[in-house]
């Protein structure tokens, strides 16, 4: 069958695993997909990335914990989740009913907690693990690991030793040298890097004359952070030899293509899902049309093509 008969080829290989396409939701913006079933076909996604899962239930931060900003939003949810036992019992059977890959985002306040979740998932039908060392909204763990090169190395190494699935490490942009952190994770055995998580920000309530978020600070996401995210993907892609998943303000197929040209093998769509639940479907269709119009055999030809 010729290429034109098969249609545009969006398949990509991520750490040796073939995905139907490079499009997936960002953790924390899609739950495990149940709330989006009526808006899109989960089978069309390259992968489903779940909300952060901890070893025990987390209540999250006090409210208010979400605020709109110019070009994006702030959140300080604090990784509220029902814990790994609930996730395995309720969410994994749901995800198994779809023909798409699954990546579970792992949350923890210590190395032992991260390893506990990974150990619980060792024999579950999960294709990837995403180690979240970049959440700015919890007081212990999270971003504390992601902003220190040595701690990023140590937690990645310990979690990798316990993991049965490929390990993607999600990095924070709230650092001086993102390349140094990425290289430390690669040296510790990471199978891939996802970047970026949210930028630390805040908003004032002019009526109460105090911070609007109960947690004072929150993570900024949405189109406002896209240029920062794109720059970091480009920088890291030049320095490491493991695949990158690009994240940060991706709302359209043109945004997704920019990240792929910068060196991302796949991309995650986050804040756009709240405004347009079909955003990922539109991005997939847009990339298919682009390949067809440009007479390009497959999307993998474009990964890193923007580097001179």
Check whether 271 is labelled as a binding-site residue: yes
Q: Give the C-alpha separation, 229 to 247, whole Å.
A: 7
Check whether 270 is labelled as a binding-site residue: yes
Q: Give the C-alpha separation, 298 to 7, whole Å.
A: 10
Tokens coding 59: 């209540």
Check whether 246 is labelled as a binding-site residue: no
Tokens coding 235: 């920088």
Q: 19 has which bridge partners?
A: 12
Tokens coding 156: 């990645």
Contacting residues for 148 by C-beta, under 8 A, at least 6 apart: none
Catalytic residue among 48, 111, 129, 135: 135
Check whether 267 is labelled as a binding-site residue: no
Check whether 196 is labelled as a binding-site residue: yes
Q: Is 185 a catalytic residue?
A: no
Q: Give the C-alpha separation, 267 to 253, whole Å.
A: 10
Check whether 21 is labelled as a binding-site residue: no
How far is Cα of residue 98 from the mean position of the Cα atoms in its chain? 20
Check whether 198 is labelled as a binding-site residue: yes
Check whether 52 is labelled as a binding-site residue: yes
Check whether 77 is labelled as a binding-site residue: yes
Report, as residue numbers or ranges, the catalytic residues: 135
Binding residues for FMN: 27, 51-52, 105, 132, 170, 196, 222, 248-249, 270-271
């Amino acid at each position: 069958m010729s290429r034109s008969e098969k249609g545009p080829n969006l398949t990509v290989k991520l750490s040796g695993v073939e995905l139907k396409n490079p499009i997936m939701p960002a953790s924390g913006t899609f739950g495990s997909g149940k709330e989006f079933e009526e808006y899109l076909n989960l089978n069309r996604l390259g992968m489903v990335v779940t909300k952060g899962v901890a070893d025990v239930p987390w209540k999250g931060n006090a409210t208010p914990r979400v605020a709109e900003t110019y070009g994006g939003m702030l959140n300080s949810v604090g990784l509220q989740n029902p814990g790994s036992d609930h996730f395995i019992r309720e969410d994994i059977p749901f995800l198994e009913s779809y023909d798409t890959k699954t990546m579970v985002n792992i949350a923890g306040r210590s190395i032992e907690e991260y390893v506990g979740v990974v150990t619980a998932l060792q024999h579950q039908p999960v294709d990837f693990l995403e180690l979240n060392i970049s959440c700015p909204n919890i007081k212990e763990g999270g971003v504390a690991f992601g902003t220190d090169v040595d701690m990023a190395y140590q937690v990645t190494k310990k979690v990798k030793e316990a993991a049965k699935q490929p390990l993607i490490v999600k990095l924070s942009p709230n650092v001086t040298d993102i390349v140094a952190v990425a290289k430390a994770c690669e040296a510790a055995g990471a199978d891939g890097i996802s970047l970026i998580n949210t930028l630390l920000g805040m908003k004032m309530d002019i009526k109460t004359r105090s911070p609007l978020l109960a947690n004072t600070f929150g993570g900024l996401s949405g189109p406002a952070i896209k240029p920062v995210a794109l720059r970091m993907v480009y920088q890291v892609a030049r320095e490491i030899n493991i695949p990158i998943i690009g994240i940060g303000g991706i709302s359209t197929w043109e945004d997704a293509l920019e990240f792929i040209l910068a060196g991302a093998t796949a991309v995650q769509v986050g804040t756009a899902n709240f405004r347009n639940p079909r955003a990922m479907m539109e991005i997939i269709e847009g990339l298919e049309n682009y390949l067809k119009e440009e007479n390009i055999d497959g999307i993998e030809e474009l990964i890193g093509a923007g580097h001179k």
